[in-house]
Structure 1
Amino acid sequence: MISIRNIQYTVSCCATVREMEYDRLYRKMTSNQENGHFAKNSDHNVDMSSRGAVEPIDHQRCRYPYCIVWTPIPILTWLFPFIGHMGIATSTGIIRDFAGPYFVSEDDMGFGKPTRYWSLYREDIKSTVWDSAVLDASEEYKNRMHNLCCDNCHSHVAMALNLMQYKGSKSWNMVKLCVLILIFGRSVGLKGFLKTYLPAILIYGTLFFMIAYF
């Protein structure tokens, strides 16, 4: 029989391995910056400080600089509105998202355009650090199998935040992001709101009506 102590030990080991993985990638990221491995003119690595200002959010072109973005997954989100597909954008607004096994999409978000976005505080993070973290997390997840419950699009975003040590933290995870995008995320207009919540409202409204009157 599996004891509680064994379960606690297993969980502790998993957390330690994940922490070591973040440290390894963070050292690699900072080493690349120090050695000049950034392509200065790349879409991933544009230094916004040299351009004088952060590019504005552009819903039409799907540009969300320094944002976490979210879009519904058909059927799954209709039944559970708090579950959806997540990505993170570079300093120039290009979205990267873990869209499937061994595949990280670029500028073509899986399941369609974002319907919600969360603009993150960026004053303490250089654009090169931000973009490096997004790039390194994306490269890492190109080598991973997609797991809906344990290692998914939210995990990809969490790794990017941990690598850049957003808010001084390396403990970002998919559960925390799932909650925070609901609290701090903003709908992309009325269309985005309806696309997110209308199917669930119709489904549960119909069920309530049937239960109440039949």
Structure 2
Amino acid sequence: MSSGRLPMMELKPAHDVENSNSERQILHELWPLGEIDPKKAKFPCCLVWTPLPVVSWLTPFIGHVGICREDGTVIDFSGSNFVSVDDFAFGGVARYLQLDREQCCFPRNLAGHTCKHHYRHAEQGTAITWDDALAQSTGHFEHKSYNLFTCNCHSFVTNCLNRLCYHGSMGWNLISVAALILFKGHWVDTLSILRSFLPFTAVLCLGIFMVGWPFLIGHLSFSLLLIGWFVLGTYFAKNLLEC
């Protein structure tokens, strides 16, 4: 080897060094999560669900949802100008789904976006960590009026997922959040299943016994109208619902 020349293995482009350092920094920030512990109501980075009084008795697939911090603390939009912390409204968690932080976009700046929606993501409000996204959404919904039909707990979770750009998508909405928990969520225990479906079964049986088949027709019509409202507001008249 000639004098004054460095071995090829020692030469490394500056941008590779920067990218390597950046990757190590991001991986360092995604520290290991604690265990899911239903007894202590700790569900790190999870979506959580619980049945609603009366509403879930008629339509058991509709309930109250929240999202959890990295330490497992539950956060939910449970009233006008109020986001509850570590006090899940309407009872304990019945169903949960843990999300993958590596599927989120945590840019340091506009040039650092890893998602394809970088301009829209920046406009929505980017976050550098999971908890930062939840904090931003909390501040936003602390000035919102709660309404079951237009601005509810699903709206809050939708806003969080869009700030995270979860799975590279900025198109999260009330329907997709509900479907995510409905089809992929895990029940906490058998009691949670009973708590979710027993009142619905009792109301259905009592209604058919006292009123007959007209009750079943009316119940089905109510469910279809409720679903139709959210589908209409989500996909055809987007100004109806807030997220």
- Report the TM-score when normalising by structure 2: 0.63
Where does residue 36 of structure 1 map in the other structure? none
For residues 114 and 86 of structure 1, the distance between their equivalents in structure 2, rounded to whole angstroms, comes to 9
Distance 2:52 2:204 in 1: 17
Shift of 1:50: 6.1
Provide the C-alpha distance between the structure 2 equivalents of 1:185 and 1:99, rounded to a whole number of angstroms.
21
Residue of structure 1 aligned with 2:43, choices 64, 75, 79: 64
Q: Deviations over 1:86-125 (max 9, x none)?
A: 1000111111100100000000011111111111122344
Maintained 8 Å contact 1:48/1:54: no
Query: How far apart, in 1, do the equivalents of 2:80 and 2:29 lie?
Result: 36
Residue number in structure 1 paired with 2:157: 157
- Where in structure 2 are the equivalents of 1:26-105 lying within 5 Å? 49=28, 53-105=32-84
> 1:200 is matched with which residue?
200
Match 1:113 to one of 92, 96, 103: 92
Query: Which letter maps to 2:148?
Result: L
Query: 1:144 and 1:207 mapped to 2: Cα distance?
Result: 37
Corresponding residue SS for 2:75 = strand
Give the letter for the 1:98 counterpart.
F
How many Å apart are 1:141 and its aligned residue?
0.3
- Indicate the residue corresponding to 2:185 in structure 1: 185
In 1, distance between residues paired with 2:144 and 2:160? 15
CA deviations over 1:33-85 (Å, ceiling 9, x no partner): xxxxxxxxxxxxxx994695210100011000110001111111111111111
What amino acid sits opposite 1:152 in the alignment? Answer: N
The count of corresponding residues between Structure 1 and Structure 2 is: 166
1:128, CA displacement in angstroms? Answer: 5.2
**1:51–1:88 Cα change, 3 Å:** closer
Separation (CA, whole Å) in 2 of partners of 1:151 and 1:178 = 14
Name the % identity.
Answer: 37
117-126 or 137-146: bigger deviation: 117-126
Q: Whose Rg is larger?
A: 2
In the TM superposition, what is the alpha-carbon distance from 1:209 to its structure 2 partner?
A: 4.8
Q: 1:42 matched to which residue of 2?
A: none
Greater Cα shift, 115-124 or 157-166: 115-124
Q: Give TM-score scaled by structure 1 length.
A: 0.72
> Structure 2, unaligned stretches of length 5 or more?
1-25, 107-126, 214-243
The residue type equivalent to 2:39 in the other structure is: Q
Q: 1:65 and 1:195, CA in 2 relative to 1: closer, same or farther beyond 3 A?
A: same
3-state SS of 2:102 partner: coil
Distance 1:163 1:50, change over 3 A: closer
Contact 1:48 1:91 (8 Å CA) reproduced = no
Q: SS of 1:205's equivalent?
A: helix
Structure 2 counterpart of 1:141, which letter?
F
Q: Distance in 2 between matches of 1:49 and 1:69?
A: 26
Shift of 1:186: 1.2
The alpha carbon displacement at 1:206 in A equals 3.3
Cα distance in 1 between the residues matched to 2:158 and 2:30:
28
| Matches of 1:165 and 1:123, distance apart in 2 | 11
